[in-house]
Amino acid sequence: MRAAFIEELGSPDAIRYGELPAPVPGPGDVLVRVTATTVNPVDTFVRSGLYRTPVPFPFVISRDLVGTVVQAGPGAPGLRPGDRVWSNSLGHAGRQGPAAELAVVPAERLYRLPEGVDPYEAVAVVHPAATAYLGLFTHGALRAGDTVLVAGAAGNVGSAMVVMAAEAGARVLATARPEDFGHCRALGAAEVLDYRDPALAERLREFAPGGIDLHLDTSGGNDLTAAVDSLAARGRIVLLAGARTAPVLPAGALYMKDGSVRGFVISSATSAELAEAARAINRLLAAGLLRPRALEKLPLSEAADVHRRIEKGDLHGRRALLLPALDTAGPRPGGTR
C-alpha cells in the first residue's frame, strides 16, 4: 500500500511517500480503507520528537481518519465491511498512523460516522473537537451558567470550544482577530474581544464583573498572571497548548481565589474519555453544529509540504486533508473551498 511515513525523527524532510506492507489487524482491530486523514500540530510534535512517544519505524504519520471498514476482527462486534467510520487517536503510543491507503484501528478507538455527515468535513473537526470536549468538560468541569473565556476562538480547537460551551448553556467570551469576530459570534460567542487590545483586562472585567469561571487559551500564550487576575472564585484554568511556554504562576492570588490550574494533552486521554467525547462529537456533527471553516483536499504525497505549512502557521482557519485516492485519480474532488 502507499503511505506517508518516516524512518527517523526529524524535520518535514524526513517524511517519505512510497510503498509499505499492508497492515494486518489483530482480533480486537478493524482494518479500514482510508478516505482522508489530516495534519494536526501534534502530528508535527510526534514526527520531530518534541512529544516523546513510542514510534516504531517505518512509522506511518498522522492521527485522524475517516474511511470504510474492510475487515473487523472478532473483538470488534457490530462493524461490517462498508461501514463508514472515523478515528482521532492513532499515530502515537506505538500505534501506526493513518496516512496510508489502509490503517488498522483498535475497535475501542473507532466510531461510526453518522448518516448524512460529509466525511471530509467530519475528519477535519474530530481531533480539534475532541480536544475541545476534554478541555471543557473532562478537565474544565464546565457547567451551565458558567462564564467561559476561549482565547484563540477562531482556530480549529477554539471554534469547537465556542460551539460546545454555548450549546451546553455557558456564556462564552472569545478573543480573536477583528476579522474573525463575525465567525466567533456565529458559533455562539456572546462577546468577542481583540486579543491584541492593550485594554483587554479592563474589557474582560466589564463583560465579566464576577470573573471567569473557566479559562482556556488555545493559542498557547499561557499568560497565567492575566488569567488568574480575571478568574472568578473557584475558577479553573485549563492548559492545552504552548508546549514550550514557561509562564510565572501568581500562586498566592490563585489560592486566595480557591482557583486551580490543570493541564492535559489529548494523547494521554483514555479510550473511555475519547469515546465519551466521540458521542458528543457525533451528536453535534449530525446536528450540523460542527463544521470546518475551509478545507484543502490534497494528495497524500504532499504530506511533507503540509507539515511545513502548519509549522509556519500558514493554515490559519483552514484544514488540510490528505486523500490517498488523489495520488492515482484525476482532478481533486471539490478542490479548495
DSSP 300: G
User: Cα–Cα distances in Å, from 272 out to 42, 181, 309?
Assistant: 21, 35, 33
Question: Does pLDDT of 337 surpass 50?
Answer: no
Is the pLDDT at 333 greater than 80? The verdict is no
147: left (phi over 0), alpha (psi -120 to 50) or beta: beta
What pLDDT was estimated at residue 334?
Answer: 39
Which pLDDT belongs to residue 2?
A: 97
Lowest average pLDDT, out of 12-21, 209-218, 270-279, 314-323, goes to 314-323
Kindly indicate the confidence band of residue 336, based on its pLDDT and cuts at 50, 70 and 90. Answer: very low
pLDDT at position 249 is 95
**Three cell numbers, residue 150:** 476561549
Work out the average pLDDT over 137-162: 97
- pLDDT tens, position by position, 181-190: 999 999 999 9
pLDDT at residue 235 is higher than 70: yes
How many degrees, rounded to 5, is the angle at CA 109 between CA 103 and CA 112? 85
> pLDDT at residue 323 above 80?
yes
CB 151 within 8 A of CB 173: no
What pLDDT score was predicted for residue 317?
73
- Dist CA 224 CA 235 (whole Å): 13
Per-residue pLDDT, averaged over 291-298, amounts to 94
pLDDT of residue 331: 43
Question: Which whole number is the average pLDDT over 234-260?
Answer: 95
**pLDDT, position 73:** 86
pLDDT bracket for residue 239 (50, 70, 90): very high
